[in-house]
Chains A and B, each alone.
Chain A
Amino acid sequence: MSALVQSMATGLLLGGIYAVLAIGLDIIYGVLDLVHMAIGEFLMLAMYTTFFLYTLFGINEFILLFVVPLIFLIVSIPCYHGVFKIMIGKPHSFHILYTASLSIALQSAALVLWTSIPRRMNIPYGAEAIRLGPILLNKALVIASILAVVVTVFTFIFLFKTDLGMVIRAAISNRKLISLIGIDPHRVYLLAFSLGMVLIGLGGVLLSFYYTVSPTVGLAYTMYMWVAIVLGGPGTIKGCLLGASIIGVSQTISGLYLPVAFKDVIVLVIFVIVLVFRPKGLFRK
């Protein structure tokens, strides 16, 4: 019994981190209507950045929480103009094929540059556990998860209490309206894209507390993020949280009863089942 509770707890902690990623993707999809299939690779890059800064330069992991997203923020601007802007207005099939090719390019580049050896941030407390009653939770994961919640709260505040945030929310609801209010839609797109990238950067740092990175992890995360969004219904933070939690929990619980490799299968099976019965996601927009 306690094993089940422990799994669920761990799953929820993971879900918290996944939620940050899902919200990032959700903003990009909601505002730019962009089906980004290479987002996992960007996450992978965030994790590698975190790893190298931590290992080679000894930068503290909490400081990295600011450094890496900042790097991503800066990088997001040329990235948007050079690579992503071209997708706006094109049909979804274009996005999928284009970003899928991009993901192959990035994945291969990572393979060339850093080889397939998995890398892990050697956090001193990474192997320690915190005891919460009958259950044991990984200390690094707990800390990362708490930070993830903080990030989510800040994002929430940004989206709901600031002017910029309101613009983004308005854009998610109705993109065409934005130009009618007199705001240049392209600036909104850039803002949303950068915000999404920042969140991915943050998520990358947080995931690095607990997971290893290698060039091929991108694909799985891309899947998780999209499943999270679709499960929860695109366009709501609530949905992202729900979707991310489902993914986290199903991963850990499946680890109890099924072979390790199956953790992805369960997520996918749930995904397919949900899509069949609720083609528009669990929460409609």
Chain B
Amino acid sequence: MTKTKWAITSRSKLITIILLVLLSSVFPLFSSKYIIHILVICWLLAISSIGWNICYGYTGLLSFGHTVFFGISAYITLWLLVPFQITPWIGIFIGASIACVLGLLITFVTIRTRGIYFALATFALPQILIIIFNTFWQVTGGAYGVIIPFAEENAYLMYFYDPVFYYYIALAFLISVLVLQLRLSESKLGYCLRAIGSDEDAANSLGIDPFRTRLFGMGISSFVTGLSGGIFVNFLKFIDPVQAFGWPLNIQMILGTVVGGVGTIFGPVIGVLVVVPLTEIMKLLIEQHFRGLNLVINGVILMLFIVLMPRGVYPWLKKLFEKYLGG
């Protein structure tokens, strides 16, 4: 009995990406500034989520500290920009590279930690950084944060008033990162990462070097997350330690992937497109009447998602498609 499955091949994924690009490119023409603003946040969060996904969904390391990559890159990009006028078009990559170095360092140090110990250890890192940044406020701008103080628009310095520009910039980066992920999943490194994530010892006995694989995985993961941090700071023109390293960002990054689909390519994007609008809608509907209740409901909804769709929305959609379009 042959089963015509709607095979999600690499080519069809590429086609999907192209379709998405076309769709999202025209979208801003019909939307308000507010929605565009939300979508920029979505794209940036999606990039971070993809970075996190490479760490967890592929390499199997549950990291609660990915915000350190986001935040460090954001601050570095900012510090290059404001006193030294180094254009963010380069600065973002420098910031992401430094985040990458940090990621490699962390990998070196945590090589023998696994599972929940790794999660707990990485959980500590952002907290440490927040406190350090708050304490040395003369250097870092402290809890009040740093603003980009330019007066007029400047494309060279990536300073725009209209969010539309950032929309396309973020989208371009997102597409690149998606393509990168696609190439990664088919590559030697991709297989090694997933093998290590599944069963490190078994992979080891088959010839896969866990240490080198982890290094590469974390390096890419932290670089990608760092990219989004760099863009973010230019978009909001402001950063402070809590926003850069804090728990809210951390949880949104993770939930983007968890809700969307761990270990998949489109999962994080879908997840983010679910989580962010949901949060916004909650905020709009509820916050005026009962301040703060929206966050409570958020938490509960997230719990429900984790229970009901543990593998995420994307695999669930895939199953649905296969049922109706396949054999």
Partner among B113, B116, B131, B292 whose Cβ is within 8 Å of the Cβ of A35: B116
Partner among A100, A103, A262, A271 whose Cβ is within 8 Å of the Cβ of B121: A271
- Whether the Cβ atoms of A108 and B296 lie closer than 8 Å is yes
- Whether the Cβ atoms of A275 and B128 lie closer than 8 Å is no
- Whether the Cβ atoms of B121 and A98 lie closer than 8 Å is no
- Whether the Cβ atoms of A86 and B113 lie closer than 8 Å is no
Q: Which residues B288-306 have CB closer than 8 A to chain A?
A: 290-293, 295-300, 302-303, 306
With a cutoff of 8 Å between Cβ atoms, the chain A residues found around residue B115 in the complex are 92
With a cutoff of 8 Å between Cβ atoms, the chain A residues found around residue B116 in the complex are 35, 92, 96
- Whether the Cβ atoms of A101 and B121 lie closer than 8 Å is no
- Whether the Cβ atoms of B303 and A279 lie closer than 8 Å is no
Using known A-B contacts A96-B119, A109-B296, A275-B121, determine if residue A223 contacts B109 with beta carbons closer than 8 Å: no
A-B contact list, 12 entries, CB within 8 Å = A35-B116, A96-B62, A97-B254, A97-B306, A98-B306, A104-B302, A108-B299, A112-B292, A259-B135, A265-B132, A268-B124, A275-B120
Using known A-B contacts A112-B290, A226-B120, determine if residue A102 contacts B113 with beta carbons closer than 8 Å: no
In the complex, A223→B121 CA distance in Å? 10
7 smallest CB-CB distances across A and B, nearest first, come from: A105-B299, A108-B295, A268-B124, A101-B302, A104-B299, A112-B292, A108-B296
With a cutoff of 8 Å between Cβ atoms, the chain B residues found around residue A97 in the complex are 254-255, 258, 306
Chain A residue at minimum C-beta to C-beta distance from B126: A268
Q: Does B110 touch A at the CB level, under 8 Å?
A: yes
With a cutoff of 8 Å between Cβ atoms, the chain A residues found around residue B70 in the complex are none
In the complex, A102→B301 CA distance in Å? 10
- Whether the Cβ atoms of B120 and A104 lie closer than 8 Å is no
CB distance from B171 to the nearest CB of A (A): 28
User: Which of A35, A103, A268 gathers the greatest number of chain B CB atoms within 10 Å?
Assistant: A268
Q: Does A111 touch B at the CB level, under 8 Å?
A: yes
Using known A-B contacts A92-B115, A93-B62, A223-B123, determine if residue A105 contacts B300 with beta carbons closer than 8 Å: yes
CB distance from B268 to the nearest CB of A (A): 14
Q: Which residues B222-249 have CB closer than 8 A to chain A?
A: 247
- Whether the Cβ atoms of B299 and A101 lie closer than 8 Å is yes
Q: Does B141 touch A at the CB level, under 8 Å?
A: no
Chain B residue at minimum C-beta to C-beta distance from A109: B296
Partner among B56, B110, B293, B306 whose Cβ is within 8 Å of the Cβ of A112: B293
In the complex, A268→B123 CA distance in Å? 9
Q: Does B210 touch A at the CB level, under 8 Å?
A: no
Q: Does A211 touch B at the CB level, under 8 Å?
A: no
Using known A-B contacts A92-B115, A96-B62, determine if residue A105 contacts B110 with beta carbons closer than 8 Å: no
In the complex, A108→B134 CA distance in Å? 24
In the complex, A101→B128 CA distance in Å? 22
With a cutoff of 8 Å between Cβ atoms, the chain B residues found around residue A86 in the complex are 307
- Whether the Cβ atoms of B113 and A279 lie closer than 8 Å is yes
- Whether the Cβ atoms of A276 and B113 lie closer than 8 Å is yes
Using known A-B contacts A100-B251, A226-B120, determine if residue A269 contacts B135 with beta carbons closer than 8 Å: no
Q: Knowing that A93-B56, A100-B254, A261-B134 touch, tell me 13 more A-B residue pairs with CB under 8 angstroms.
A: A101-B251, A101-B299, A101-B302, A102-B299, A108-B292, A108-B298, A264-B128, A264-B131, A271-B121, A272-B124, A275-B121, A276-B109, A276-B112
Interface string of A82-115 (1 = CB under 8 A from B): 0000100010111011101111111111011000
Chain A residue at minimum C-beta to C-beta distance from B305: A101
- Whether the Cβ atoms of B124 and A223 lie closer than 8 Å is yes
Q: Does A230 touch B at the CB level, under 8 Å?
A: yes
Interface string of B247-263 (1 = CB under 8 A from A): 10001001100100000
Q: Does A219 touch B at the CB level, under 8 Å?
A: yes
Chain B residue at minimum C-beta to C-beta distance from A116: B292
Interface string of B132-175 (1 = CB under 8 A from A): 10110000000000000000000000000000000000000000
- Whether the Cβ atoms of B135 and A112 lie closer than 8 Å is no
With a cutoff of 8 Å between Cβ atoms, the chain B residues found around residue A227 in the complex are 120
With a cutoff of 8 Å between Cβ atoms, the chain B residues found around residue A103 in the complex are 299
CB distance from A157 to the nearest CB of B (A): 30
CB distance from A80 to the nearest CB of B (A): 15
- Whether the Cβ atoms of A271 and B296 lie closer than 8 Å is no
CB distance from A172 to the nearest CB of B (A): 16
In the complex, A265→B129 CA distance in Å? 9
- Whether the Cβ atoms of B117 and A275 lie closer than 8 Å is yes
Q: Does B87 touch A at the CB level, under 8 Å?
A: no
User: Which of B291, B296, B307 gathers the greatest number of chain A CB atoms within 10 Å?
Assistant: B296
Q: Does B315 touch A at the CB level, under 8 Å?
A: no
Interface string of A200-242 (1 = CB under 8 A from B): 0000000000000000000100010011001000000000000
In the complex, A101→B115 CA distance in Å? 19
Q: Which residues A23-50 have CB closer than 8 A to chain B?
A: 35
With a cutoff of 8 Å between Cβ atoms, the chain B residues found around residue A107 in the complex are 295
